[in-house]
Amino acid sequence: MLKHIRDKDLITRLPDLAPIFADAYAAADGGLSALRLALSYLLEARDDLAPQHLADFLEQHVSQDLEELAMSTADRLREEGRQQERVSARLQAQRRTLHRLIELRFGPPSPATEARLQAATEADLARWVDHILTAASVDELLGS
């Protein structure tokens, strides 16, 4: 299956891959986990593969029990994506706020400071916000 993941005709070739899915589903030791992992990979790697299409395929070619698995896997992936977007948006807001505070306190940030802000983790940003009023310079702030 992995060697076909980028094939343009993967969606039309899904029925050819049905035995792989059926074997994974039938395996007693972790078969369902392996199938869940394969479904996650397919849905993440292929933007053109609709979760409902995959669910319909699994129900028709592998087992009627698997439609729910495909849809729950897709739902989980969508939620993970939303969570990542929220974290990213929060980090960007923190970066903008700290950028503005640095600008007000020390003047326009240098390109090196800009790069540090963009590479900063959430913990770095929180630590720097805590010290913005007590630091004597940007170097001292970013070194804290």
Q: Which residue has the higher pLDDT, 140 or 72?
A: 140
| One domain, residues 125 and 70 | no
Within a 10 A sphere around the Cβ of 50, how many other Cβ atoms?
13
Residues 115 and 45 in one domain: no
Least Cα distance to 110 among 132, 138, 82 occurs for: 138
Mean pLDDT within 16-39 = 71
Judgement on whether residues 91 and 65 belong to the same structural domain of the protein:
no
Dump pLDDT digits (tens) for 31-80.
667 777 777 777 777 777 777 777 777 777 666 555 566 667 667 667 77
- Kindly give, in sequence order, each residue whose CB lies less than 8 Å from that of residue 8, ignoring residues fewer than 6 positions away: none
- Assess whether 76 and 104 both reside in one domain: no
Provide the domain limits for residue 66: 2-80
Q: Which of 80, 108, 125 is the last residue of a domain?
A: 80
Same domain, 72 and 114: no
> Could you tell me which residue, 13 or 123, shows the higher pLDDT?
123
